[in-house]
Structure 1
Amino acid sequence: MAKWGEGDPRWIVEERPDATNVNNWHWTEKNASNWSQERIKNLFTDATVTSDLADLKIKEVEKCEGEAYANNRKGKLIFFYEWNLVLKWEGKLKEGTGTKHKGKVTVPNLSEENDVSELDIQISVKDNEEEGEVLKEIMQSVGKEFVKEKLGNYITSLKEEFSKGMILPRKDEVVNKNDINNLSCGFDKKINMQSNASKKDSKKEVGLKIDTSTLKLTQKFQCRASEFYDAMTRIEMVSSFTRGPVKLEPVKGGKFELFGGNISGHFDKLEPPTKIQQQWRYKAWPEGHYSTVEITIDEKEDHTEVRLVQTGVPRGELEKIRENWERYYWTPIKQVFGFGAFITDSGF
């Protein structure tokens, strides 16, 4: 996002001879769900797990539920995927009775939010016989790493396959494939929200009396109420419109941190898809001072109306915070997700 008071060449739309997604400005999307299901099934069909103690094999995928999408947002590739997997395995000890035992491998949440190395992979065995339990322990040891390796292969191939044709060259520009293979939903660039508060103000002691005001805003979005609610509470969507890594726990009491730590707080109330209430603070405010943000989402016949009431805003910050909501929340949400041509910035 552009710095305050400066232009940004990325916002200048250049002409292309083919008139196709000029400068990759528009949000384009490819559904990778069917491809992903086939890829995962191929990776785990009759796949041998190497072990010195047992002959182990993952036979097939019993369940593969979820979705995957590849998006081009202003020349940046963003991958969304979320899968719940259940795999069937079988094996026998190399120095045992020769009895074959069967079990399952469960991967409850494979998504871009979780690193493959940190996946919670659960191993079970169908029977509790001694050899079955030994095989289960072996699968715990070598089978988990095998599954993680294969899922890493899936993610790599997803990005390689769906990078093709997603990033179009600008006029007189050639895109380097090395620049896009490893892009995901995160952006490294930090955005500093401008404020009137000085460094001296930020060091005020907790308990200092602050003169505050209440901010009221109304915005209209061309989307369903549930879509706007998701844009404010789903980590991959928040990462997209804030253009950077975020910390987000969308549960009562859950914490959030946006724009490189400049905005932080926690959720007081979540009532999908109609209400979000937060304790919200800007980093430069006096230590320990929070405002209360209440967002009411009202779906109409042809649009969704969003009303924001923010109490406890330091009086000198009121207009700047109003401007920041428009510049760093409402406008990017509309541009990134295509939520609308309606622009309203009036109190109520």
Structure 2
Amino acid sequence: MAKWGEGDPRWIVEERPDATNVNNWHWTEKNAGPWSKDRLKELLNDLKIAENGIDCKITEVEKIDGEASANNRKGKLIFFYEWDIKLKWEGLLAGAADKVKGEIHIPNLSEENDVSEVDMTVTIKGSGDEAQRVKAFMHNVGKSVIREQLTEYIRSLKQEFSKGLILPKKGEPQVKPDNVSTITSGFNKKVNMEPIITSDSKKIGCKLDTKSIELTESFQCRAQEFYDAMTRIDMVTAFTQGHVKMEAEKGGKFSLFGGNVSGEFRELVPGKKIVQYWRYKQWPEQHFSEVTFSIEEKDDHTLVTLKQDLVPTSELEQTRANWKHKYILGTITK
């Protein structure tokens, strides 16, 4: 048994309040599905939307299909949720005699999409000028109100299911949900890979101050295995725990973490080298860095040197930390 401060932290035993999951290393999971269905119904059912003489409300949450879970992976919180929602609504135009009825379909509420990007289709039963006016109101105003409720669902999901997933170590207080840095698998800004953007760096056409990053890591695998972990969509999906878009060929595009990281493969030498154009979504428009993985197989390990040129100076330290701890080098088993 390793002494405290020595050896692999996965195998260190320490005194802790619950005597389980030392260092929060092991994957733990909570099923958030039933809670999510109840919360979504609470937020959406009987939701009133009224403005400028038009009164509408959600009369029924007809369908909520999908799943949700909260996970602790190596001390990081990861939330998965995917919902297909159908709502019934009705509305009345001031002075009109008959109510307009219709449906709203939300097919893709998931961590892969920001709420502002979630599809939402509004339909009505019937026709006529009055019905079309109410439909237009729900399309323009109603969608915004519903998106606010979906945002509240995601916020409360993370608050509720952060409790107890990150366990305190000896001498540490219980972690409060508000202080937990969360990661989602999909394509949104909640991945803890959000660069700091200065107002100057957003100006298109201005000179951008850039620097380079160089990191070297040893991996207990063959060179080809590391290469596959970077280029095979099933393996990349496994360690990012989210949807991946990838065409591993020269000129092929890739997109990870909900589009927060995207780019293009510029050179691929199996087992030896990978060159990419690479950018964060929040970087100045059309600005790409160049990432080179040099892969060298040794007798008992594989040495990987990562060099990234043209990184905006304001992003340098955050980008370096993400490579080491959250993106690739920190997630592939070494």
**Aligned: 1:187 with 2:192:** yes
Is the contact between residue 265 and residue 276 of structure 2 (CA under 8 Å) also seen in structure 1? no
Unaligned runs of 5+ in 2: 1-5, 185-190, 196-212, 267-272, 279-287, 306-323
Written as runs of structure 1 = structure 2, the 5 A alignment for 1:11-22 is 13-17=12-16, 18-22=18-22
Answer yes or no: is 1:150 the counterpart of 2:144: no
Q: Is 2:275 the partner of 1:281?
A: yes
Other-structure match for 1:274: none
TM-score by length of 2: 0.62
Q: Is 1:237 the equivalent of 2:241?
A: yes
User: Contact conserved, 2:76 with 2:181, CA < 8 A, in 1?
Assistant: no
d(CA) in 1 for partners of 2:141, 2:239? 32
C-alpha distance 189-119 of structure 1, shift in aligned 2 (>3 A): closer
Q: Which residue of 2 aligns with 1:202?
A: none
10 and 156 in structure 1: CA distance in 2 versus 1, 3 angstrom threshold: farther
- Displacement of 1:129: 2.0
> In the TM superposition, what is the alpha-carbon distance from 1:113 to its structure 2 partner?
2.0
Q: Does 1:45 align with 2:18?
A: no
Question: 1:280–1:126: structure 2 CA closer, same or farther, 3 Å change rule?
Answer: farther
Q: Which residue of structure 2 lines up, in the alignment, with residue 319 of structure 1?
A: 297
1:235–1:114 distance in 2 versus 1, CA, 3 Å = farther
Contact 2:66–2:84 (8 Å) recurs in 1: yes
Matched with 1:163 is 162
3-state DSSP of counterpart to 1:113 = coil
Measured on the aligned residues, the alpha-carbon RMSD in Å equals 4.6
Percent identity between matched residues is 39
Of 114-123 and 159-168, the range deviating more from structure 2? 114-123
Say yes or no: does 1:172 pair with 2:171. yes
* Aligned counterparts of 1:124 and 1:20: Cα–Cα separation in 2: 51
**In 1: Cα distance, 2:135 partner to 2:194 partner:** 45
Question: How far apart are 1:107 and its partner, in Å?
Answer: 1.5
Q: CA–CA distance in 1 between the matches of 2:179 and 2:151?
A: 17
Task: Describe the superposition over 1:8-35 as per-residue Cα deviations: whole angstroms up to 9, x where unpaired.
Answer: 9976735124421112111100011111
The answer for the alignment partner of 2:116 in structure 1 is 117
Q: Report the AA paired with residue 131 of structure 1.
A: E
Task: Indicate the SS of the match to 1:175.
Answer: coil
Tell me the equivalent position of 2:82: 82
Instruction: Tell me if structure 2 keeps the 8 A contact 1:69–1:79.
Output: yes
Whole-angstrom distance in 1 between the partners of 2:104 and 2:58? 9
1:157–1:27 distance in 2 versus 1, CA, 3 Å? same
Cα distance in 2 for partners of 1:89, 1:112 equals: 26
* Residue identity in the other structure for 1:281: V
Structure 1 equivalent of residue 188 of structure 2: none
**Aligned pairs (5 A) from 1:1-348:** 13-17=12-16, 18-96=18-96, 98-177=97-176, 179-180=178-179, 183-185=182-184, 186-188=191-193, 194=215, 216-217=224-225, 230-233=234-237, 237=241, 248-250=244-246, 253-256=252-255, 265=264, 280-281=274-275, 317-319=295-297, 322-324=302-304, 332=331
How far the C-alpha of 1:322 sits from its partner, in A, is 3.8
Letter in 1 for 2:54: A
CA gap of 1:161–1:8, structure 2 versus 1, over 3 A, is farther
Match of 2:269 in 1: none
Equivalent position of 1:3 in the other structure = none
SS at match of 1:38: helix
Whole-angstrom CA distance in 1 between matches of 2:233 and 2:75: 25
Asked if 2 retains the 8 angstrom alpha-carbon contact of 1:264 and 1:280, the reply is: no
Cα gap change, 1:324/1:137 in structure 2, threshold over 3 Å: closer, same or farther? same
State whether residues 54 and 93 of structure 2, in contact with CA within 8 Å, keep that contact through their aligned partners in structure 1. yes
Structure 1 unaligned spans of 5+ = 1-6, 197-213, 220-227, 240-247, 268-278, 292-312, 336-348
Residues 115 and 172 of structure 1: CA distance in aligned 2, closer, same or farther (over 3 Å): same
Does the CA contact (< 8 Å) of 2:233 and 2:246 recur in 1?
Answer: no
Alpha-carbon offset, residue 334 of structure 1: 5.9
Give the letter for the 2:20 counterpart: T
| CA pair 231-110 structure 1, distance change in 2 beyond 3 A | farther
Contact 2:86–2:105 (8 Å) recurs in 1? yes
**Aligned position for 2:319:** none
Distance 1:184 1:218, change over 3 A: closer
Following TM superposition, by how much is the alpha carbon of 1:282 offset from its aligned partner in structure 2, in angstroms?
5.5
Q: CA deviation at 1:130?
A: 1.7
How many pairs are equivalent? 260
**Shift in CA distance, 85/77, structure 1 to aligned 2, threshold 3 Å:** same
Contact 2:102 2:125 in 1 (8 A): yes
Shift of 1:63: 2.0
Shift in CA distance, 132/236, structure 1 to aligned 2, threshold 3 Å: farther
Q: Please say if residues 14 and 170 of structure 2, whose CA atoms lie closer than 8 Å, have aligned partners that are also in contact.
A: yes
